[in-house]
Amino acid sequence: MATWSHILFQDSASPTMEQMIFFHDHTMIILTLITTLVGYMMMNIMYNSFTNRVLLEGQEIETFWTIIPALMLIFIALPSLRLLYLMDEINNPALTVKTIGHQWYWSYEYSDFTSIEFDSYMTPDSLNLSSFRLLDVDNRTILPMNTQIRIMITAADVIHAWTIPALGMKIDAIPGRLNQASTMINRPGLFFGQCSEICGANHSFMPIVIESVSTNTFIKWMNLIS
């Protein structure tokens, strides 16, 4: 989900997303080296008229092109496994937010302080120039930054997917099942997402907006709406 004037990932807003971007760059360097080497060899073969009628096999080169790809796969797999364990790490959360997917809106529940529940619908198209078309909602999800947060996801009707690219989060919302993920937002701002699972006619019109604020601002907001 690219943003305006960007062709790569969104700016990371969590440690998990930072590690994902690092892993992407690490993998792309290896793929670039492989592509360059293979392209160079193919060009040499195509434009080289020399042949060797004696060379029928080469144990050394066969060993070489078996070991080198295996080492490259290891260099890719080790950071990938580390990232998978990091994404599944369970921390002691300071805040738990329950998210429920509906056709075609999201519901949120804050049950740690008082029972706060609200629905989040996409705002209409007829907005001013400073608004975000098809991305803004009437009730944003306010979360404190630099705080361990647990997101619990489920759905009321069909399968949805709660996705925030800037946080590196994509969690399936499945009816009858409760999924969870942990995150920590490390900077203030607005972070947009959308449902990432085809869920019906208005699948494209159920955006997600996270507003990251300081802890004091979050407590004031909780007192205001409770």
Tens-digit pLDDT string for the chain (226 aa): 556 667 778 888 898 899 999 999 999 999 999 999 999 988 988 887 776 666 667 788 888 888 988 999 999 999 999 888 888 887 888 899 999 999 989 999 998 877 788 999 998 766 666 677 788 888 899 999 999 999 999 999 899 999 999 998 999 999 999 999 999 999 998 999 999 989 888 898 999 999 999 999 999 988 888 7
In this predicted structure, what is the pLDDT of residue 13? 87
Domain boundaries, the chain: 15-87, 95-225
Rounded Cα distance between 45 and 81, Å, is 37
In this predicted structure, what is the pLDDT of residue 108? 94
Pick the CATH number of 95-225 from 2.60.120.260, 3.90.1300.10, 2.60.40.420, 3.40.640.10: 2.60.40.420
173 and 98 in contact (C-beta within 8 Å)?
no
Residues in the chain: 226
